[in-house]
A = this chain, B = another copy of it.
Amino acid sequence: MPLSPYWLRDNCPCPECRDPRNGQKLFQITDLPDDLTIVERDERDGRLGVLWSDGHRSRYPLEWLDAEDTGGTGDGRSEAGKRLWAAADFAAGLPEADWAAYLADPAERAAVLGAVLRSGFAVLRGVPAVEGQVLDVARTFGYVRETNYGRLFDVRVEADPNNLAFTSAAIAPHSDNPYRDPVPTLQLLHCLDNSTVGGDSGLVDGFRAAAQLRAEDPAAFAVLTRTLVPFVFRDRATELRADRPLIELDALGRIREVRFNNRSISTLRLPAAELDAFYAAYRRFAAVTLRPELRLDFRLGPGDCLVFDNVRLLHARTAFEAPAGDGTGGSRHLQGCYADLDSLASTLAVLNRRAAALDTIAEFFEGEGAAEYLGEAVTLAEHMLQAGALARAAGAPDHLVAAALLHDVGHFEGTGLELMAGRDNRHSDTGADWLAQWFGPEVTGPVRLHVAAKRYLCTAEPGYRARLSEASEYTLRVQGGPMSEEQAAAFAALPGAADAVAVRRWDEEAKYADAATPGFDHFRPLLAALMR
């Protein structure tokens, strides 16, 4: 395989080149010599070793070298990462979830956020219909983006509206705030009241409409990708302008963002022939966005919160009856806010990472964990499950239940961290380091110290050593034997010593062949909660 030297060196995973805590590179690209070459390379133990012309040595896991990218979808923001849709694709129902389930269940949260990324929207049902609640919804996956409309805006009929949104008029499919750059990439609309006649909601997949235009009239599509349109909003306190194309492509020519809002297109200044071409293309695109088969219609009721991608989906509403002056008749009141896709995608990635970590741990318990455990009467998995169950039975806090359950993960082969980062492979450190990807020090601390705690207890507590199992007595010697009095005093002074000793005691007891222990799934919700 031909290797690009600077690329390979830029990806060196050694702790000199990359901060093990956060993966950030510790060198500048200009720190590398101008004539960098590979002097020697060899493959063994699943790794490519490289000796560089400047004397540096790197080791790369072969599976990393061979890894595919994310299937060409990159950060998932272009059309390549989306599921383009027409209304009929949701004949069986909208992507939606109950608010309570969304809050309680990481899998439900992941499904909702995944729908927003892939389909461009999702609806949460049963969100308390109280003012300001929409900000809490946004906070579950990111940060509110404040604008001239406030952190929160009310969508209802206003006496002196500065925007058509604040009237009872119908609004054709459009995206919001195209005059901002950066435009808010997410919008939330939370329905507090929709007791009026009319006021239904509509969504159109702007990427789908743009793709349709590209298929039917590539020249018109091209015009819309290269014409900078001046979007303007102006009131007494605001004067925003952004010159952006209606259809924005990424550097590989894929649809990446759509801006569409006739209300705020200001005067384009181009030669007349170019204006004719632009307006012909624009009208053609606009006509596509109005095709009934592309428009998904639904009605928001109190407690529904629509979350959607504002650089992809176009949203619309039908006209509604303006509230009567005497307070009779229905009314319509939504509260909205803006947020951004990047944090939503991050939240989803972390949820998925945590779910994958729990899956991996579960696989260890079911696979390698079923093997004999250092000559004990139980398997490694039984031993760890027993330790977790003992901690729970003792009324230990969740983080100690988790530490007891996970204290020996460093014995598993697949964690691999110790080899990758060049650390020693003592199983307590290995396990703690691996777990630190998802758990805080309240969990990893006792795991890291559980071997030291045995050596401490054998010194500090008369009779403790005599109660060790045969295997544990054997490993005690490998691990350095009992601590000296001085070592024991230093250990006892550590802030995490008590937790580590508690875990160690459950560890020692968890070796009974006949104990009935719950399965790993029993602990999964507890671990998921600790991962937050």
Contacts and interface: CB of A to CB of B under 8 A. Distances in A.
Interface stretch (A69-77, A475-483, A495-503): A69-77
Contacts of A304: none
This chain: copies in complex: 2
Contact of A29 (B67, B252, B262): B262
Interface in A86-132: none
Interface string A157-183: 000111110000000100000011111
B283 A30 contact: yes
B228 A251 contact: yes
Given A272-B3, A279-B10, A164 B19 contact: yes
A328 interface: no
A269 B68 contact: yes
Contacts of A242: 75, 77, 342
Contacts of A293: none
Interface string A495-519: 0000000000000000000000000
Contacts of A287: 30
B350 A238 contact: yes
A226 interface: yes
A113 B306 CA distance: 37
A265 B143 contact: no
Nearest to A243: B74
A23 interface: yes
Interface residues of A, number: 100
Interface string A215-248: 0000000000111101011111111111101001
B262 A27 contact: yes
A520 interface: no
B143 A241 contact: no
A38 to B, nearest CB: 12
Contacts of A144: 146
A264 interface: yes
Contacts of A346: 148, 238-240
Contacts of A393: none
A272 B22 contact: no
A286 B29 contact: yes
Contacts of A484: none
Nearest to A275: B4
A57 interface: no
A345 B345 CA distance: 29
A-B CB proximity, top 5 nearest:
A182-B182, A4-B275, A6-B279, A74-B243, A239-B349
17 contacts: A1-B272, A4-B273, A4-B275, A7-B275, A10-B279, A11-B267, A24-B264, A25-B265, A29-B279, A29-B282, A30-B287, A30-B290, A68-B269, A143-B146, A148-B346, A182-B340, A225-B251
Interface of A: 1-7, 10-11, 19, 21-30, 32, 64, 67-69, 74-75, 77, 143-148, 160-164, 172, 179-183, 185, 225-228, 230, 232-243, 245, 248, 250-252, 262-265, 267-269, 272-273, 275-276, 278-280, 282-283, 286-287, 290, 340-343, 345-346, 349-350, 353, 436-438, 440
